[in-house]
Amino acid sequence: MPAIAKLIPEETVFFLCDVQTRFKNAIFGFDELVLAISKMLKIAKVLEIPVVVTEQNPKGLGNTIPDIDLPSLGPLLLATIEKGLFSMVTPEVKTLLHERPQIKSVVLFGIESHVCVLQSALDFIEAGYNVHVIADGVSSCNKEEIPFALARIRQSGGYITTSESAAFQLQRDAGVPGFKLFSNVIKEEKDNTVRTLQKLLQYRAVL
């Protein structure tokens, strides 16, 4: 795995982990988490980055919260996968990635940081992918768990970044025709970004 793992749209898939209705009142900063995820999905649409969604035991925990507008992704939504594994690296996900050998990077966001996100990150790293975890796009029931989960991922070779930093890495160039659409998303999300960072990153040491 290269020491510098740049995000390139054509080589990237977004993975949304288990942001389901039954978690709404249990997860720290859930509303802010949803804002960050919604921004990432807007970026996916502008930059045409495919998205995979998982749902942990949806019969018991519900489906992805409707505040997250999955239908708007259209064909960019590769699959919504029901799982029992804590890790997102299910047989279905392995097949999806095997069919797309150009994919080198996985961008992870969702819950819980110390369970499903962590185990997914470790499995993706072990499989040879560059894993980028969105620090303002993950959370847990207990906020104290989060920095330890992110540290564990970093120790194993993952990359911890923020939603806006990842977005700009993927955009790369202000001189291309699609930049105006990208810029509009960043401007529209400015207040939500501030709210999300202040809520979700205040407890998270990065070093």
Among 17, 116, 136, 199, the one annotated catalytic: 116
Report whether 204 contacts 147 (CB < 8 A): yes
Question: How far is residue 114's CA from residue 120's CA, in Å, rounded to a whole number?
Answer: 10
Strand ranges (DSSP E) for 116-193? Answer: 130-139, 159-161
Catalytic residue among 42, 83, 104, 199: 83
Q: Judge whether 33 and 19 are in contact, CB under 8 Å.
A: yes
Q: Give yes or no: 83 in active site.
A: yes
Helix axes 179-188, 190-200, angle to 10 degrees: 60
Q: Which of 17, 18, 42, 136 is catalytic?
A: 18
- The verdict on whether 116 is a catalytic residue reads yes
Query: Which residues are catalytic, by number?
Result: 18, 83, 116
